[in-house]
Structure 1
Amino acid sequence: MRLFKDKESKKRLERWFGRQWVNLIMLATRFLTVERARAFGRIMGNLGFYLIPRHRRQAIRNVNLIYGKEKSKKERREMIRRTFIHASCFGWETIYLYTHNITDGKVKGLVREVKGLEHLEKAMARGRGVIGLGAHLGNFPLLARRLDTLGFPSTSIMRQMRDEKLETIFTIMRERFRQRSIPKLPVSRAIKESIAWLRQGNLLMIYVDQRSGRGVKVDFMGVSTPTPTGAAVFALKTGAAVLPIVNVQDGDGFYNLLIGEELPVVKTGDQKKDIFLNTARFNKAIEKYIRLYPDQWFWFHNRWKGVKLNEN
């Protein structure tokens, strides 16, 4: 007997449960310290590894595809378990900061080290805007707030959630993190607003690590896969500088904001070729950080959709 009449009914129920879970964490974190919130996150992450088979299967597939020849089955399984724990801790920690009215002091206390700030300062000084290459790695909402405390407000392009009530919650949350955003849809308006933001000499964060059906196929983690081209298109269009920016956790539970050196933008005069070459280069730059901190990346996303294991 089928539990759901159609896929949409199942998705509606999943969204409802997701909303209730967020509301529950919001209520719980009001009475917790950040250390206790992280502790609950670790417990829930361990449970999630066993109780959320859909995400576990996707993570297993992705990790097997990328690390199948490098790591043993035991090592891959442990890596996935740590990924669940990190994702859960990240969620609890982020909601804790939201419910406790995050301050600049708290942000600086959590993100203790900023490495490579001189690269961003040099690029911003040109006045042509900067494209920050980001990834769903570490604590990326906290990245925007830490940049803001350094005097570099940023914005990013975001797709709105289908659950309007949950989108409202996350919109308020992003505002408290000073995580400004440009709606991804309609695309034409998103492009126009992004270019205008860069031409004003501002910082635009673009998260290049997720799949894009409209993108170009380039190598990512050793596998050719469709990749978003926005960063390359905007860099070629505006002359903005491009450099990777990530916020990753160290062994003590605090974060390091890592700003890489500026990446040269290839300009051959062939637009199609330039978009391909720059997209590939930008992908490689962000891949380096994911490989350094694999437990902190979002392996649950279907990044290599349609790729078979024997194609690696």
Structure 2
Amino acid sequence: MAETDRTDGPQAARPAPPTGTWRDWATDRALRSAIALCLALPLRLRLRLMGAFVTRVIAPLAGYRKRTLRNLAHVWRDLPEPEARALADRVADNAGRTMIENYDVLGLRDRMTGATPVGEGVAAMEAAREEGRPILFVTGHYGNFEAPRALLVSRGWQVGGLYRPMKNAFFNAHYAANMARLSGPVFEQGRRGTMGLVKHLKAGGHGVLLFDIYSGRGVPIDFLGKPAPTLTSAAEIALRTGALMIPFFGIRQPDGQSFVAEFDAPIPHGDPVEMMRAATAALEARIQADPGQWFWIHRRWKPERQARRQRKRAAASTSP
């Protein structure tokens, strides 16, 4: 997906090339080569190798395994250590599979062709589509969050959304282009991107937002029994545009490569915080059913930072 720019000159303006350090460029080239090599392999082998590579190499080196274990200890203190370590391996394996799957979005679309969406929200979303009413699908980093979108695209839907840009500008250039290959429009996270998504929804479009990322500007909402700052922007966008707000989840099946796409009943419009509590509860239910499919590698709670913020607020409230 690309927008057309109007110019007075003989040639349309082109996006500025990405900039960064030579290390950024070298890292990007290495990642591109690894991705290309992996995509040349048969699907089952590709997924197994990427899952194993992230589990045994990337997760220990990048600190993902340590972070997963720390998050598990934060919310489930009584989880035995052997179970926590086994769960951390499953998390890394799913992350590796998801990464390479989402670099073959058209292949993922083809794999979802013929699958049937399930859940209480299916009838409501089909009716909204017929009426031309916008729909905002919300989800978390669970299973493969692109699988339900790929299923909808395979059935003729156009589903856009926001994406979080990568720090490496060279890598981000093809990462964003890859996301748009499945369906658009795709907007970069930020004020401008949010306005683009709002405009898209107001025109009767469909979009996706992932809400399970820490934000210091978020409202503390209990997530797996611990407060997690959560942005209410998804609910606010739904209210502003009149969009149905439907949680969906791509649940990986035991074979490691197929998915069930579940669509929950629409979250009733009302107080934005309560709407996000409902979305959070939908994600919690999936995690309780199969915790190995959620991306525990994220810094979702940041309890130390939350404690510092609370101390600062308390000090400010008592100062003369």
Alpha-carbon distance in structure 2 between the residues aligned to 1:239 and 1:31: 44
Does 1:183 find its partner at 2:183?
Answer: no
1:80 to 85, 88, 92: 88
Give the structure 1 partner of residue 259 of structure 2: 255
Give the structure 1 partner of residue 298 of structure 2: 301
**Alpha-carbon spacing, 1:234–1:25, altered in 2? closer, same or farther (3 Å):** same
Q: CA deviation at 1:309?
A: 12
Q: CA deviation at 1:86?
A: 1.2
2:268 to 264, 271, 275: 264
**Alpha-carbon spacing, 1:232–1:50, altered in 2? closer, same or farther (3 Å):** closer
Once the two structures are superposed, the pairs formed by residues 201-216 of structure 1 within 5 Å of their partners are: 201-216=204-219
Give the structure 1 partner of residue 6 of structure 2: none
2:243 to 240, 248, 260: 240
Would you say the 8 A contact 1:132–1:205 is kept in 2? yes
Name the aligned partner's letter for residue 278 of structure 1: M
Alpha-carbon distance in structure 2 between the residues aligned to 1:57 and 1:167: 26
TM-score, length basis structure 1? 0.81
Name the aligned partner's letter for residue 186 of structure 2: S
Deviation per CA, 1:32-69, whole angstroms, max 9, x where unpaired?
Answer: 11111012123213313773252122111111112223
**What's the secondary structure of 1:52's corresponding residue?**
helix
**Alpha-carbon spacing, 1:45–1:132, altered in 2? closer, same or farther (3 Å):** same
Would you say the 8 A contact 1:141–1:179 is kept in 2? no
Alpha-carbon distance in structure 2 between the residues aligned to 1:225 and 1:104: 33
Alpha-carbon distance in structure 2 between the residues aligned to 1:306 and 1:14: 32
Name the aligned partner's letter for residue 220 of structure 1: F
Deviation per CA, 1:234-269, whole angstroms, max 9, x where unpaired?
Answer: 122222211111112111231111111112122xxx
Does 1:159 find its partner at 2:164?
Answer: yes
Once the two structures are superposed, the pairs formed by residues 105-184 of structure 1 within 5 Å of their partners are: 105-108=110-113, 112-116=115-119, 117-178=122-183, 180-184=185-189
Q: Alignment RMSD, CA only?
A: 2.7
Would you say the 8 A contact 1:40–1:92 is kept in 2? no
TM-score, length basis structure 2? 0.79
**What's the secondary structure of 1:114's corresponding residue?**
coil
Q: CA deviation at 1:14?
A: 7.7
Name the aligned partner's letter for residue 168 of structure 1: A
Would you say the 8 A contact 2:136–2:243 is kept in 1? yes
Gaps of 5+ in 2: 1-19, 308-320
**What's the secondary structure of 1:89's corresponding residue?**
helix
Alpha-carbon distance in structure 2 between the residues aligned to 1:148 and 1:16: 33
Alpha-carbon distance in structure 1 between the residues aligned to 2:199 and 2:118: 28
Alpha-carbon distance in structure 1 between the residues aligned to 2:124 and 2:276: 20
1:41 to 42, 50, 64: 50
